[in-house]
A and B are shown apart, each in its own frame.
Chain A
Amino acid sequence: MTFVSHPIFLIFLTFFFFLLAKILQNKTGFFLLNPILLTIFALIAFLQCFDIEYSTYEKAGDFIAFWLQPAVVALGVPLYLQLEKIKEQWLPILLSQLVGCVVGIVSVVLLAQLFGASREVVLSLAPKSVTTPIAMEISSVIGGIPSLTVATVVCTGLFGALAGIQIVRISRIKSEEARGLSIGTASHAVGTSAAMEVSPIVGTYSSLGLTLNGILTAILTPIIVPMLV
Chain B
Amino acid sequence: MIRQCAILFGCLALGDLIVYLTGIKFPASIIGMLLLTFLLKLGWIKLEWVRGLTDFLIANLGFFFVPPGVALMLHFGLIKAQIIPILGATILSTILVLIVTGQSHEIVFRLKENRKKKEK
Contact = CB atoms under 8 A, between A and B. Distances in A.
A12 to B, nearest CB: 13
A173 B51 contact: no
Given A111-B92, A157-B65, A72 B79 contact: no
B54 interface: yes
Interface string B47-91: 100110111011111111111111111110011001011111111
A189 B65 contact: yes
Interface residues of B, number: 73
A150 B71 contact: yes
B87 to A, nearest CB: 7
A116 B96 CA distance: 20
A192 to B, nearest CB: 7
Q: Interface of chain A, helix or strand or loop or mixed?
A: helix
B30 A185 contact: no
A134 B94 CA distance: 17
Contacts of A100: 97, 100-101, 104
Interface residues of A, number: 104
Interface in B30-52: 30, 32-37, 40-41, 47, 50-51
Nearest to B54: A74
A36 B70 CA distance: 10
A96 B105 contact: yes
Contacts of B93: 103-104, 107-108, 111, 128-129
Contacts of B112: 89, 91-92
B114 to A, nearest CB: 13
Contacts of A179: 102
A171 interface: yes
Given A36-B62, A96-B104, A76 B86 contact: no
Contacts, number: 315
B66 A69 contact: no
Interface string A164-198: 10011001011101110111011101101110100
16 contacts: A43-B70, A44-B70, A60-B67, A65-B68, A68-B29, A76-B40, A77-B54, A99-B104, A100-B100, A107-B96, A115-B85, A125-B89, A129-B93, A181-B101, A181-B102, A207-B58
Q: Which 10 A-B pairs have the closest CB atoms?
A: A61-B67, A76-B36, A100-B101, A173-B102, A115-B85, A117-B85, A182-B102, A96-B105, A74-B54, A111-B89
Interface of B: 8-9, 11-12, 15, 25-30, 32-37, 40-41, 47, 50-51, 53-55, 57-75, 78-79, 82, 84-106, 108-109, 112
Given A80-B36, A148-B79, A178-B109, 12 more contacts: A36-B63, A80-B47, A92-B112, A93-B105, A147-B71, A151-B71, A156-B90, A159-B90, A167-B99, A182-B101, A185-B97, A207-B58
